[in-house]
Amino acid sequence: MSPDPRRWPLRAFLLLPAYWVLRDTIRLQASDYVSVVVVPWAVLVLASWFLARRLFDARQVPLRLVLLVTTLVCAWGVLHVGRMATRVILVPSLLAAAATVVPPVGLAAAGLVAVLGALELVLRIQPGLLPVDARLTLPLTPRERLACFFRTPDGCLPADALQVFPPELGFAYKPNLNVILWHPEAGFWTLRTDPRGFANTDPALHDGADVVVLGDSFMQGVLVEPEESFPARLAAETGRRVLNLGIPGWDAYQYPIALRQFGLRARPRVVVAGIFGTNDWNARFPLWAEYRREHPDADYYDFLEMQARARVPPGPPGLFGLPERLYRRAYLPAAIGALLDPHHVGAAAGRDYEEVTLNGQPVRLRLGDALRLWRAIDPDKLMEEHRLGIEQLGRSIEEIRALAAGAGARLVVLYVPTMEEVYLPLVAADSEFWGPTPKARVLEKFARLREVVTSRARPEELLDLTEPLGEVARRGESLYWIHDPHWNRRGNVAVADIVARRLAQAP
């Protein structure tokens, strides 16, 4: 009996992933990868060469069943412990190999490919069919992403519906907004702006205020009503008139500009500059300033498009990185992942959080995700990547200091910690939660990156919220949303209390 000609396609399909499997074997050096991916794959390759005649014999049912189970183990293993590129190339190769041996598998695979291709085409034509959170996980261009920027009860609004793009600031809110927005966990909240585009309910604050607050979304008070924000709470507690100049997405680059253009005319006695972790010293806006000098007629949209074009495509370069790059640009995998991940739908009832007991009270937090992120952070590398932003932070604080001094105002540099900076120190060092990463190593990373901000403020200016918020959290208080990095309503109250105590002290 002559050999079945299908043996050569079978061997080709099984040998196709060899580069990716062997590369992961060398890089991962993990016993579980070898046992559930490499060994089953090697068994299938050897079977295609030494048992080819039996494989195509319909009477060899036991052998076919054994190799089918081996195929399933290999596919399951690579999906769980393999890297992205290996998953993308190995699973289709296993499916194609099975199709050469069992024709019905080929028909099923062809039908599946046709359905997936049709779904990919539909999503590219109509991404609006997806929920907002799932839509924002797609590999969109900056303009496509900004076309669904603000969450509303009815869907979403584009960025230019609520924002303007002044060249010196990059972007800001439109004046006199009164819009109901929505968040899956926080629910409905109101974005209300004054005639200058800031979240103040009293426009007269621009003509006279005791305190001017500079900052980003933490200072504006996103996800809460205007009267529940930190500046509004501070005003209610102290009886001072507080002008809120916070805009989400701003960083230290905009703060002195906003103080000069909008804050000084209010003749404040105190200037509070809220600096949020690494967000306020990323290199984005120094690069925006350079881009403006070279393209004076461009707006912030153009800058984002330029950055997207200049960015290296995700995935490794070259021919062997092509499967991963194509996969990362596909809409369907991102959409399916977002729909299956409860984090993307923001369901506070979903068990994608940890429950920490503090002072006998259960507090729900996404500490596991935060810890996984911090395990991968290299402070030296991060600071080098954002060197321009760190330099800008220093210049901004110096300029704010000079502007405040010129106006006879006291400066408070408010360090705003992340949720994990407040709560991870409260988890016992001997807890299983830390896994292979010692608690001391994570806290050391916190301290090093926090020092980027705190070292640039004078001791009499600095108010580091990390320890004061930690004391509140230790009592069993939940200060941050579960599925959003910002303060919840209780967090805004706690910060207002802490700042009020500082302002009550003699300068």
- Distance CA(473)–CA(173), nearest Å, equals 33
Q: Is residue 491 part of a domain?
A: yes
**111 and 175: one domain?**
no
Burial code of 443-474, b = ≥16 C-beta within 10 A, e = fewer? eebbeebbebbbebbeeebbbbbbebbbebbe
First-residue to last-residue Cα distance in the chain:
98
Q: Using one digit for the tens of pLDDT, what is the confidence trace for 136-161?
A: 778 887 888 888 889 888 888 999 99
Task: Report helix, strand or coil for 386.
Answer: coil
**77 and 207: one domain?**
no
**226 and 97: one domain?**
no
Taking every pair of Cα atoms in the chain, the longest distance, rounded to a whole number of angstroms, is 99
Strands 163-164 and 155-157: unpaired
Integer Rg of the chain from CA: 28
Domain encompassing residue 82? 7-125
**101 and 173: one domain?**
no
**119 and 170: one domain?**
no
Residue finishing a domain among 74, 104, 125: 125
**224 and 96: one domain?**
no
One-letter-per-residue 3-state SS of 227-250: HHCHHHHHHHHHCCCEEEEECCCC
Residue pLDDT tens, the chain, 507 long: 456 777 888 889 889 999 989 988 888 777 888 888 999 999 999 988 888 788 777 778 888 888 888 988 998 888 888 888 788 888 888 888 888 877 776 666 667 777 778 888 888 888 877 777 777 778 887 888 888 889 888 888 999 999 999 989 999 999 999 999 999 889 999 999 999 999 999 999 999 999 999 999 999 999 999 999 999 999 999 999 999 999 999 999 999 999 999 999 999 999 999 999 888 888 888 888 889 889 888 888 888 888 877 665 556 667 777 777 777 788 888 888 777 765 544 444 445 788 999 999 999 999 998 999 999 899 999 999 999 999 999 999 999 999 999 999 999 999 999 999 999 999 999 998 898 889 999 999 999 999 999 999 999 999 999 999 999 999 999 999 998 999 999 999 999 999 999 999 866
Q: Is residue 110 part of a domain?
A: yes
Residue 381 phi, psi dihedral angles, 5° rounding: -65, -40
Closest by CA to 132, choosing from 183, 204, 94, is 183
**369 and 471: one domain?**
yes
pTM given for the model? 0.79
Tally of domains in the chain: 2
Q: Is residue 130 part of a domain?
A: no
Residue 359: predicted pLDDT: 92
- Distance CA(259)–CA(309), nearest Å, equals 33
Residue 203: predicted pLDDT: 95
Residue 342: predicted pLDDT: 52
Give the neighbor-by-neighbor strand order of the sheet with 462-464: 242-246, 211-215, 270-276, 410-416, 462-464
Closest by CA to 143, choosing from 167, 166, 127, is 127
Q: Is residue 298 part of a domain?
A: no
**402 and 263: one domain?**
yes
What stretches of 174-269 adopt beta strand conformation (E)? 178-183, 187-192, 211-215, 242-246
**254 and 398: one domain?**
yes
Q: Is residue 320 part of a domain?
A: no
**246 and 393: one domain?**
yes
Residue 346: predicted pLDDT: 45
- Which CATH number goes with the domain that contains 224? 3.40.50.1110
**70 and 201: one domain?**
no
**119 and 192: one domain?**
no
Q: Is residue 146 part of a domain?
A: no
Residue finishing a domain among 106, 125, 144: 125
What stretches of 377-440 adopt beta strand conformation (E)? 410-416
Q: Is residue 314 part of a domain?
A: no
Q: Is residue 154 part of a domain?
A: no
- Distance CA(283)–CA(277), nearest Å, equals 14
Task: Report helix, strand or coil for 411.
Answer: strand
Contact, 414 vs 463, CB < 8 A?
A: yes
Residue finishing a domain among 125, 147, 177: 125
- Distance CA(54)–CA(35), nearest Å, equals 25
CB proximity list for 177: less than 8 A, separation 6 or greater:
162, 191, 192, 193, 197
Burial code of 130-141, b = ≥16 C-beta within 10 A, e = fewer? bbbbbbbbbebe
